[in-house]
Amino acid sequence: MQHNLPETIGVAGAGAMGAGIAEIAAASGIAVLLFDARPDAANAAIAAILGRAEKRVLSGKLEQGQLDRLASKLKAVEAIEALGPCEIIIEAIVEDLEAKRNLFAQLEDCVPIDTVLATNTSSLPIGVVGAKLTHPERFAGLHFFNPVPLMKLVEIIPGPRTAAATMERLTGFSTHIGKEPVTVRDTPGFLVNLGGRAFTTEALAIVQESVATPSQIDAIMRDCCGFRMGPFELMDLTGMDVNFTVSTFLHQSHFADPRLRSTPLHRYMLETGQLGRKTGRGFYLYGDDASKPAADMPILAEPAKQVVLGEESPELFAFAASIGVEVLMADDGVAPILAFPLGEDVAAYALRLDLDLRRIVAVDLAFDTTRRVTLMSAVSADAMARDAVAAAILGSGRSVTAINDSTGFVAQRIVAMIANLGCEMAQMSLAAPGDIDKAMRLGLNYPLGPLEWAEKLSPPRLLAILRQMQGLSGDDRYRPSAWLRRRADHGLSIWAR
């Protein structure tokens, strides 16, 4: 096989993904033959590509010469046999195993032996799609993300018999068209779809347990952790018909691993047609009159002047100073008790330290508190203690979100699950650790990759959070990855090999 860049590629399937792949390849100077079994679909896709490009020329975002080159590199073909001259052919048809297998069987009959065949499947195992090929050594997965022109990541997935030369050619092609390729092991969901489960499923579990509302969770994850969108905003954008189906598929494919479990609430949203933006109703309402429920706590009391610390902690001392409250050296039996539990709920924290459950106001200091602070109190808590602390925080210019008692607050739970799943993917050798982080940042717009989150929290702290949540909940959903445990217990970096 030759390893140089292709002069001509083929794209089979002229839907959103196929058209996007054709557009970026043509824009890079590669000739593209676009095929679709639907009459005139390929011509319509090219017309749409060029129409968008013409608008960019008119707005000054694209030069006329670039448009002319794009137009010269795109050609629709009506018969699959016309893809014969292509050096790489990328399939982007419906997500159906038999349909893909039939397409590749036809391609093998009409292309030379050195043509690389690739599937853009987002979920079907590459080895299964290519199992019946006569020459599986020239076949691999090439998974782009939507919208293709904007998303930088591409996952390259070898099947069990894919040749190294095939991987080299697809890597070189991906780099040439401006993508960041990551080599991923062939497993259900590959890397990004698998790794992305934790963000949404843990948020769903938090709502299922009535710990916090979708708007509260989204605000916390944006303001305290730097995510561009909260998990419920993201699910409404992609649609419950998409994200529930993928979540169910991955949970079943991994033999019901609790780490990948969704909730009855997720299924209910699908079955009642509350799909998100596409139906005008999901976790939020959409339309001219829609507004999101409040995530911020109003001022309900006079600011606290004094607090007691549940246990000595530099973070608690610094936080108390930042909101202008005095820390009493001895408990006066009246002042709110400021606490910073890791993985614990207030009930367990109070029991462990023999503290007055009613006066404890827990604050999550594991993440950024410069914009928003999460407060948590126990069942039967004194609301005045919480409200007084909240008023002091609000007086410092920050927003406050008050949630019900939970192991791990909100951010600790979600970030710990993201990081732990990333550690498990590293343990599985799903991809190189650095590539896991790169893929999650590029594919999902995460502010940090899962292993970067683990290092930022510190492996020992992350392990402590997970162990507390697993022990207190009795749920193996929170069982720590061996990759994490071995590094945390010995003070090693999360990337240590």
> What are the domain boundaries of the chain?
8-186, 193-279, 306-403, 411-488
95 belongs to the catalytic site? no
Q: Say whether 306-403 and 8-186 share the same fold.
A: yes
pLDDT for the residue 415: 98
Give tens-digit pLDDT for 278-323: 999 999 999 887 878 888 988 889 999 999 999 999 999 999 999 9
Homologous superfamily of domain range 8-186 = NAD(P)-binding Rossmann-like Domain (3.40.50.720)
CATH class of 411-488: mainly alpha
Q: Which of 193, 243, 247, 481 is catalytic?
A: 193
Active site residue 143: yes
CA distance 320 to 413: 24
Of 23, 87, 120, 122, which residue is the catalytic one? 122
pLDDT at 1: 40
Query: What dotted CATH number matches 306-403?
Result: 3.40.50.720
| Bridging pattern class, strands 139-144 and 116-119 | parallel
Phi, psi of 91 (to 5 degrees): -90, 135
Distance CA 395, CA 26 (A): 56
Instruction: Choose, from 155, 202, 233, 424, the residue flagged as catalytic.
Output: 155
- Among the options 87, 143, 251, 406, which is catalytic? 143
Q: For residue 275, which of 246, 321, 242, 297 has the smallest C-alpha distance?
A: 242
Classify domain 193-279 by CATH architecture. Answer: Orthogonal Bundle (1.10)
Q: What are phi and psi of 175, to 5 degrees?
A: -65, -40
Note the residue count of the chain: 497
Per-residue pLDDT at 299: 87
- Locate all alpha helices (DSSP H) within 76-160, ordered by sequence: 97-110, 126-129
* 337-361 pLDDT tens trace: 999 999 999 999 999 999 999 999 9
Which residues in the chain show pLDDT less than 50?
1-2
Q: In whole angstroms, what is the distance from residue 374 CA to residue 297 CA?
A: 10
pTM over 0.75: yes
Whole-number pLDDT of residue 3: 52
155 given a catalytic annotation: yes
CB 129, CB 100: distance < 8 Å: yes
247 is catalytic: no
